[in-house]
Amino acid sequence: RIYLDARIPASILHIPHTGLYVFEHKKWLEVKGFHPNQILSILYPNDPNVHPNMALTTNRLSVDHRLLHHLIVHQILPAGGGYAKLSRMQVFLMWCILSKIEFCFPLLMLKTMVRAFSQKKSVLSFGSILTKVFQHFQIRLEGEIATKLKKEDTYNKSTLNRMGWKKREGIWTYCPKVDQGPRIAIEE
């Protein structure tokens, strides 16, 4: 049995374990300076009707905010499934990053793993980090098969193209697939 708190993976990975110690997936976090309406007006500047109690979707985000969301759902709070909706925790992390508010990443990693373990359909994330933790505690890993990063795990122009954004005459334009509806957004 291995006991982990935020300090242990922080030490193993040589990263800080400072900042906000918060994690909540179901409801809005209560943190000084965080107001859901404020970040929603930044994420959805052209939609005055957006409010904290509605389902939030990614298809109306700007290219910058969609890329930030993509990084969050693939690197900071990875989970399986679709990425069309924003969770309250994802919006909160977007606020932290845009506002330069430090959060405790090792705590988020641990909470994400615990949450994945407690759900029926979920993916256990942070495999490479778990490998480092096992090695730290001298757990033998002989016979395990290493996997390389997929092409999809790097960020470049192809990433934006896969997300539905195309660069036309120097302007990033969102071009939804037929099944995504008629929305067209233009970003410089």
Which tens digits make up the pLDDT trace of 92-140? 999 999 999 999 999 999 988 888 878 777 777 887 788 888 888 888 8
For residue 175, being part of any structural domain is answered with: no
With a pLDDT cut of 90, the percent of the chain lying above it is 39
Q: Residues 6 or more apart from 51 whose CB is under 8 A from it?
A: 37, 40
For residue 94, being part of any structural domain is answered with: yes
Q: Which amino acid is it at 127?
A: G
Distance of alpha carbon 105 from alpha carbon 121, whole angstroms: 24
If one counts the domains in the chain, the total is 1
Q: Does residue 151 surpass a pLDDT of 70? A: no
For residue 157, being part of any structural domain is answered with: no
- Give the domain extent around 22: 7-142
Distance of alpha carbon 69 from alpha carbon 13, whole angstroms: 24
